[in-house]
Amino acid sequence: LAILFHSSELYSFYGLDIRHRSPFEHTMVVGYADDSVGYLADPTAYLNKEYAAVTVPRILDLPPFTPTAAAHLSQHAIQLLGRLT
């Protein structure tokens, strides 16, 4: 079992990607761990200027993520999990 904690609201596509590509038989991806940095949305949300990608960072007074941030988090999470096996 692996439990991966992160401080964002990660779009489910990326959480499921981490779970499916994890080298562990069971992987839990847990958001809002140790504060909240907002949504990690998919690139389409940024193109469409959706609430999660554009408005929430302003509400939280945080800089917006880049359109590829969620994919980068997912990739690095898989690499981290791989190093733990």
Instruction: Give kind and range of the element (H or E) at residue 4.
Output: strand 2-5
d(CA 59, CA 11): 18
Specify the pLDDT at position 36.
86
pLDDT digits (tens, 9 = 90+) for 6-62: 999 999 999 999 999 999 999 999 999 988 899 999 999 999 999 999 999 999 999
Specify the pLDDT at position 35.
85
Is the pTM higher than 0.75? The answer reads: yes
- Asked if pLDDT for residue 2 goes beyond 90, the answer is yes
